[in-house]
Chain A
């Protein structure tokens, strides 16, 4: 039986709407203190996360898609989410709660571009995924080691150059040869990459935008209940 009392949490619902708004508006300080106060009052960490914070990030995603938020506002909301999560995380871990999913992400070998990759990583993190960013110019063996060590459900590959796109296939081939390909879903993205190319090289999905990548990630990795 949970030590946290849902009814107590609901009694504070009006105040907790402020937590939703703090995440929505990117107010880190408020998010942190509201989470701390709610926990002191006996609210369940899982409830705070699932009823207020994640819906706020969903709203952020909706506002971004509608053109009402730019990336800076979205990242600020992500920071507020993170600020609250720093307090929640130890309790979630001790209660056995899992992250939304685990992701390994990187720009493929030969390619030095990382803005798009960083954006996808930030958005995945804000959506509750645990993200392991391998950086740029990542050779296939590094991806394979990360899969073996981190046990992700998802691997995201990024490339911006036409001449580095083939490194996506090389990476997938290496993953197959190492016997780790079937353990993960692979998403690819980047300016020259297309859905057709993703299919040709045997990737599981293609995200044209960072938001599309997150949507696909959620589809591939259903949130643990």
Chain B
């Protein structure tokens, strides 16, 4: 039985700070994450280009060009180290040898930069969770899982230092429930189905890493869940308070990776990362203002407050005035990190962390629940419960209370419409049934056709989820 994290490794909000964590991770070519320094995590992708056999040399050419320029910029800026993330595109996961070929190409560049310039580095490789290709998704078997599994294995063999994923179990219900603002469906997704898949999937990923010496099981992200909510809220399609509570409720699901043996760093787009750091003590990657090349967010500064890696999320290989976009964003990240690391070196890290926090904290409900104080409150609520279902509800309720207190105290200003939704979410959370079995029964009519019980191991016995 997997160990359940039941206490916080960081209990004092003042100890929850960028660059340091209780369980630093050694990885790659001489890199230690979370031991006092924040490093850049650079991610890049192709410009509009069809990926196929005929264009493959062009694809490789782009990656060769991007990594070359990024590393030259890092060396030029005397970066103390760097993490490169290679996030595979669906076609590169479907053909595992393609993902592996690019992994090897990137790792070759990192080795040469290490030998030539002494640049410490690590390569994070993140295959696409293509299991959602089929609807309803067949998660534990079938072609998609076979390709994904092969991709993880081949990338590990080809030189990945860290394996990560943005897994999608439960997303098939979460998408629909989110669009309807239905708390029951959201909790069923985040508190029942997603944890079940996370447990199964991360046991597989940890096993794969164990087969390849030096490959670290990194972490997951609720990107397909809470980031979807964040983006929709950013476009005024969903209430910000719903997105904020959804974020908090995504933390128990993402925590399961670490309960299964993941070591960190968490994925950059996992804004629930600070809760992972507080509970599991792992280094976390975050993204904010310097990831505006990929997406907007209301968390530009506050996201940096507790990070151990600082990421640009993704940028296309296009030409800007200064140079290529990947090298431009390497420079942006590097200066951000340099400032944080100087603050740490001069004993001013908490001052900078608090400025990063306060500049965003009450501008948006999603930022309010991301402060160190809020993070600890949510982490405590999670630690006090035993099952993912109970933890998800507890995290949601904690977020609601944090938001209500901020509104009541006049610190957070939200529209009447948002206040109505906060009440609606609170009411929805208070009306959930005691057991996950019962909730799945309750939502069967609305969502039953969207998921396969066998994908979650629920086809054997009805009581299979009572332990959740």
- List residues of A whose CB falls within 8 A of some B CB: 67-68, 70-72, 75-76, 110-112, 114-115, 118-119, 122, 135-137, 161-163, 165-167, 170, 192, 209
Please give, as numbers and ranges, the residues of chain A lying within 8 Å of B90 by CB-CB distance.
110-112, 161
Whether A165 pairs with B48 at a CB distance below 8 angstroms is yes
A181 to B306, CA, bound (A): 53
Name which residue of chain B comes closest to A209, CB basis.
B235
Please give, as numbers and ranges, the residues of chain A lying within 8 Å of B324 by CB-CB distance.
none
* Number of interface residues, chain B, beta carbon within 8 A: 30
A112 to B181, CA, bound (A): 23
Whether A72 pairs with B49 at a CB distance below 8 angstroms is no
Contact of B180 among A75, A136, A163 (CB under 8 A): A75
0/1 string, B291-318, CB within 8 A of A gives 1: 0000000000000000000000000100
0/1 string, B251-287, CB within 8 A of A gives 1: 0000000000000000000000000000000000000
Please give, as numbers and ranges, the residues of chain A lying within 8 Å of B116 by CB-CB distance.
none
Question: Which residues of B in the span 211-250 have a Cβ within 8 Å of any Cβ on A?
Answer: 228, 232, 235-239
Whether B135 pairs with A136 at a CB distance below 8 angstroms is yes
Q: A72-B238, A162-B316, A163-B48 are in contact. Are A118 and B179 (CB under 8 A)?
A: yes
User: Least Cβ distance of B293 to chain A in Å?
Assistant: 12
0/1 string, B35-52, CB within 8 A of A gives 1: 000000000011111110
Q: A76-B180, A136-B135 are in contact. Are A163 and B50 (CB under 8 A)?
A: yes
User: Least Cβ distance of B341 to chain A in Å?
Assistant: 33
- List residues of B whose CB falls within 8 A of some A CB: 45-51, 89-91, 128, 130, 132-133, 135, 175, 179-182, 228, 232, 235-239, 316, 417, 421
User: Least Cβ distance of B181 to chain A in Å?
Assistant: 3
Whether B181 pairs with A72 at a CB distance below 8 angstroms is yes
Whether A70 pairs with B180 at a CB distance below 8 angstroms is no
A67 to B421, CA, bound (A): 14
Please give, as numbers and ranges, the residues of chain A lying within 8 Å of B91 by CB-CB distance.
110, 163
Name which residue of chain B comes closest to A71, CB basis.
B237
Whether A112 pairs with B133 at a CB distance below 8 angstroms is yes
A122 to B421, CA, bound (A): 22
Please give, as numbers and ranges, the residues of chain B lying within 8 Å of A112 by CB-CB distance.
90, 128, 130, 132-133
User: Least Cβ distance of B217 to chain A in Å?
Assistant: 24
18 more contacts with CB within 8 A, not counting A163-B45, A163-B50, A163-B91, are A70-B236, A70-B421, A71-B232, A72-B182, A76-B180, A110-B90, A115-B179, A115-B228, A115-B232, A118-B175, A119-B237, A135-B135, A136-B133, A162-B45, A162-B47, A163-B46, A166-B49, A166-B50
Name which residue of chain B comes closest to A135, CB basis.
B135
A120 to B366, CA, bound (A): 26
Which residue, of B228, B236, B238, has the highest number of chain A Cβ atoms within 10 A?
B236
Whether A162 pairs with B46 at a CB distance below 8 angstroms is yes
Please give, as numbers and ranges, the residues of chain B lying within 8 Å of A119 by CB-CB distance.
179, 237
Whether A75 pairs with B179 at a CB distance below 8 angstroms is yes
Name which residue of chain A comes closest to B232, CB basis.
A71
User: Least Cβ distance of A184 to chain B in Å?
Assistant: 23
Contact of A167 among B45, B50, B128, B180 (CB under 8 A): B50
User: Least Cβ distance of B120 to chain A in Å?
Assistant: 31
Q: A76-B180, A112-B133 are in contact. Are A163 and B49 (CB under 8 A)?
A: yes
Whether B133 pairs with A70 at a CB distance below 8 angstroms is no
Whether B181 pairs with A70 at a CB distance below 8 angstroms is yes
Please give, as numbers and ranges, the residues of chain B lying within 8 Å of A76 by CB-CB distance.
180
Please give, as numbers and ranges, the residues of chain A lying within 8 Å of B175 by CB-CB distance.
114-115, 118
A115 to B229, CA, bound (A): 11
Closest 9 CB pairs of A and B: A72-B181, A166-B50, A71-B237, A165-B48, A162-B48, A72-B180, A163-B46, A67-B236, A163-B89
Please give, as numbers and ranges, the residues of chain A lying within 8 Å of B49 by CB-CB distance.
162-163, 166
Please give, as numbers and ranges, the residues of chain B lying within 8 Å of A67 by CB-CB distance.
236
Q: Can you pick out 23 interface pairs between chain A and chain B where the beta carbons lie within 8 Å of each other?
A: A67-B236, A70-B417, A71-B179, A71-B181, A72-B179, A72-B180, A72-B181, A72-B238, A76-B180, A110-B51, A110-B90, A112-B130, A115-B232, A118-B179, A119-B179, A136-B135, A162-B47, A163-B46, A163-B49, A166-B48, A167-B50, A192-B48, A209-B235
